[in-house]
A and B are shown apart, each in its own frame.
Chain A
Amino acid sequence: MSTLVMDSRQTELLRVLLVEDNAVDAKFITGLLRLPTSTLQCQHVTRLFEALQHLERNRPDVILLDLNLEDSAGYDTFYRIRQAASRAAILVLSGSDDEDLAIKTVREGAQDYLVKGTFDGRLLLRSIRYAIERRRTEEALRQSEATVRAIFENSLDGIVIFTGDGICLEANAAAGALVNLSRNELIGSRLCDFCEKGFEEVWGELSSSESGRGQFWAHLKNGSRRLVDYCFTANILPSQHLAMLRDITEQQDMEEQLRDSQKMEAVGRLAGGVAHDFNNILGIISGHAELLESSAASLVERGRAEKILSATEKAASLTRQLLAFGRKQVMSLKLLDLATVLEGVSSMVDCLMGAEVQISIQATKNAGLVRADQSQMEQVIMNLAANAREAMPEGGTLTITIDRYASSTDQPELPPGEYVRLSISDTGAGMSQEVQSRIFEPFFTTKKSGSGLGLSTVYGIVKQSGGYITVESEAQRGSTFSVYLPVISGSDLNPTPSESRKRLHVPGHETILLVDNEGDLRNASCEYLEGCGYRVLTAGDGKEAIEICDQYTGPISLLISDIVMPRVGGRGLVDHVRKTRPGTNVLIISGYADDAVWRHGIALNPSYFLQKPFTFQALSTKIRAILDKEI
């Protein structure tokens, strides 16, 4: 303790309790404490029980204690007082110079042991002050230790103290939990016994350095492993080192998932861009195929043109599905026919399976309508199909069935009722009971790659939709996932009649301004429309179109424009035309999905949009409907 602190405390009023039954000794002590420099307030009692009563109501700074009283003797006197006044400094005053007793009392908390007749007032006063200071320091240390201990015990990170040989001297519960042991089981063990091979060398290097940071894989007794981030400090005490440990297994999984998700997002954006360009190309192919078809000299040529058109329609359907699947949508519950939803993604399922997997689809029409989000149901089908594909690396058969299912009362996992059942089966290796029991857990995977979230996502969607999902599997016979969605009663399915493709030539005579930076598509469209009787003005971008608009003196009945063009885009062109030719109708064409219109800031009735690739028939039908004010 510094002198300055001692000086500042010398003026502090100290409360003393003197426990002494000998009147002469008591007089001596109190007389000695009557020094001019003394700032003591002394209370005297002669019996232990009086002292204990006093301590119930008071908190003296120091107790001067004779051990041999009328109602108590020896160490027991000290023990009782210690229990009653744990915060006070105790000085034992004894007539015996008993070293053993002195050591015992000091060890148990007495600040000093003074033999009567060996001290004067100054020594007594100094002893009192020193005793109080030591007691306060001990108390502060005790509180500090208690705080550190609380932090140590309750830390969510593992904290371990090692010897230089890597033997664990002290550990908290979190450290034990990292390796699936209690802290007592961990103490005395070698941490390297739980680490991956080769960590011994790392440990050796760490022990001879001041500090270090890194990661290691901890191998648990149950066969699993955890990724641990550690921070090491050498020699916090001589030959004792400190390690802070944090289980970052889940964090790493989430980071991987985030990377995968970001990758998927990037792929989605890329796919969107590719799909747009692909749609433009398909538009050129289908446009010229239509022209070929209309000018075919023979049935053979017409047949070939039709085959080209059919192929471009399939290609267009695939890109539409790709764009729709990757699009983020808020959950929008609708009455759905799962067979129709399945049909909508069948092309993608085909792509996913590849040539090695045979696909069998048995979808009952009119199985009933369910209330669900279409894009989520598509995701369920795709995730289950992807899972099935993973189970058949060498190929096999994927079977998708949709039927009506009635659950009876003796099926605990499925409440009684009417359901539409979607089942997806594979002929893969099958799953053990243990794997089946965990298959829907987030991050659980039996594959080397993958996030382990596909099936847990399916599970979440099915539950969110009020449905149920089961899995049946047999080793070497494959697995079947069945999704049960409650039928919405009163919903009879009326199949939507499919639109037949008619080759109708829809004539017109108006003036159309056609703007598209894709030259081949523009020329083919122009040729077709002129063939229909329209007068067609063409431009390669918005700026050229504006010049034509301003210079052309006659009426322009319809503006057909792409959105994304160089120099001036669709929005700028539409704004100009609406200002200068308010009577001109607008039809927007684009390789992007219909939300591209509002995303580019064009206020337009969705009916005035045509997504590429479109057939010329669809174009002419749309044009006629707009000009005849039918929409």
Chain B
Amino acid sequence: MNQGSNSLNSKDFDPQTLLDRVHGDLNLLHELVDLLAVEAPGMLGRIEKAIQHRSASELEKASHTIKGSMLQFSAHKAADIALQLEESAQANSMAGSQILLEKLRREIDVLQQTLRAMLQNGSSH
């Protein structure tokens, strides 16, 4: 993945699938995007806290939660990073967690931008 990129390719994020899943309901998508903007910092914060406290169980729980949300948005890459964090926690290993967290943070930022652009265009990416 390109770290500096502000766009996602279809492997990272599948906007058509997302639109199909919400049956083209842009109002619903709007609500979801707004909610993500509110919730994402908190979800990422729980991961950070878990890493700081070196709590594998908390890290597993928090990363699992954000993974689910990413799957809902068909954000496969973000979901994949969250899965890596979850699996590290299951293996009771914190090694590389901070790096993965930063990657996840950037992915979610790009995702949100992409989603906003989708909504402004009123159609696919």
Chain A residues 106-156 with CB under 8 Å of chain B are 115-122
Task: Determine whether the beta carbon of A120 is less than 8 Å from that of B67.
Answer: no
Residue from B20, B61, B64, B67 with most neighbouring chain A CB atoms (10 Å): B64
Task: Determine whether the beta carbon of B68 is less than 8 Å from that of A95.
Answer: yes
Task: Determine whether the beta carbon of B68 is less than 8 Å from that of A22.
Answer: yes
Would you call the interface of chain B mostly helix, strand, loop, or mixed?
helix
Binary B-proximity of A80-112 (CB < 8 A = 1, otherwise 0): 000000000000001110000000000000000
Count of B interface residues, CB-CB < 8 Å: 24
Residue A34 interfacial (CB < 8 Å):
yes
Residue A330 interfacial (CB < 8 Å):
no
Partner of A24, one of B28, B39, B61: B39
Residue B23 interfacial (CB < 8 Å):
yes
Residue A582 interfacial (CB < 8 Å):
no
Task: Determine whether the beta carbon of A31 is less than 8 Å from that of B20.
Answer: no
Task: Determine whether the beta carbon of A31 is less than 8 Å from that of B71.
Answer: no
- Tell me which residues across on chain A come within 8 A of B25, comparing CB atoms: 31, 34
Task: Determine whether the beta carbon of B68 is less than 8 Å from that of A23.
Answer: no
- Tell me which residues across on chain B come within 8 A of A31, comparing CB atoms: 22, 25, 28, 31-32
Task: Determine whether the beta carbon of B67 is less than 8 Å from that of A95.
Answer: yes
Task: Determine whether the beta carbon of B69 is less than 8 Å from that of A22.
Answer: yes
Name A residues whose Cβ lies closer than 8 Å to a Cβ of B. 21-25, 27-28, 31-32, 34-35, 66, 68, 73, 94-96, 115-122
- Tell me which residues across on chain A come within 8 A of B38, comparing CB atoms: 23
Distance in angstroms between the alpha carbons of A66 and B28 in the assembled complex: 21
In the complex formed, the residue of A with least CB distance to B68 is A95
The 6 sampled A-B contact pairs (Cβ below 8 Å) are A25-B68, A28-B32, A32-B22, A34-B28, A95-B71, A115-B71
Partner of B69, one of A25, A115, A119: A25
Residue B35 interfacial (CB < 8 Å):
yes
Distance in angstroms between the alpha carbons of A31 and B36 in the assembled complex: 14
- Tell me which residues across on chain A come within 8 A of B20, comparing CB atoms: 120
Task: Determine whether the beta carbon of A68 is less than 8 Å from that of B64.
Answer: yes
Contact (A23, B39) CB under 8 Å given A117-B71, A119-B21: yes
Distance in angstroms between the alpha carbons of A116 and B73 in the assembled complex: 10
B88 CB to nearest A CB, Å: 15
B13 CB to nearest A CB, Å: 12
Residue B56 interfacial (CB < 8 Å):
no
- Tell me which residues across on chain A come within 8 A of B74, comparing CB atoms: 117
Partner of B72, one of A34, A35, A94, A116: A116
Binary A-proximity of B23-55 (CB < 8 A = 1, otherwise 0): 101001001100110110000000000000000
Task: Determine whether the beta carbon of B79 is less than 8 Å from that of A22.
Answer: no
Task: Determine whether the beta carbon of A121 is less than 8 Å from that of B68.
Answer: no
Contact (A73, B61) CB under 8 Å given A23-B39, A120-B20: yes
Binary A-proximity of B93-115 (CB < 8 A = 1, otherwise 0): 00000000000000000000000
Distance in angstroms between the alpha carbons of A118 and B70 in the assembled complex: 12
Residue B7 interfacial (CB < 8 Å):
no
Task: Determine whether the beta carbon of B35 is less than 8 Å from that of A117.
Answer: no
B66 CB to nearest A CB, Å: 8
Distance in angstroms between the alpha carbons of A22 and B71 in the assembled complex: 13
A6 CB to nearest B CB, Å: 21
Task: Determine whether the beta carbon of A24 is less than 8 Å from that of B36.
Answer: yes
- Tell me which residues across on chain B come within 8 A of A122, comparing CB atoms: 23
B78 CB to nearest A CB, Å: 11
- Tell me which residues across on chain A come within 8 A of B70, comparing CB atoms: 117
Partner of A27, one of B32, B65, B68: B32
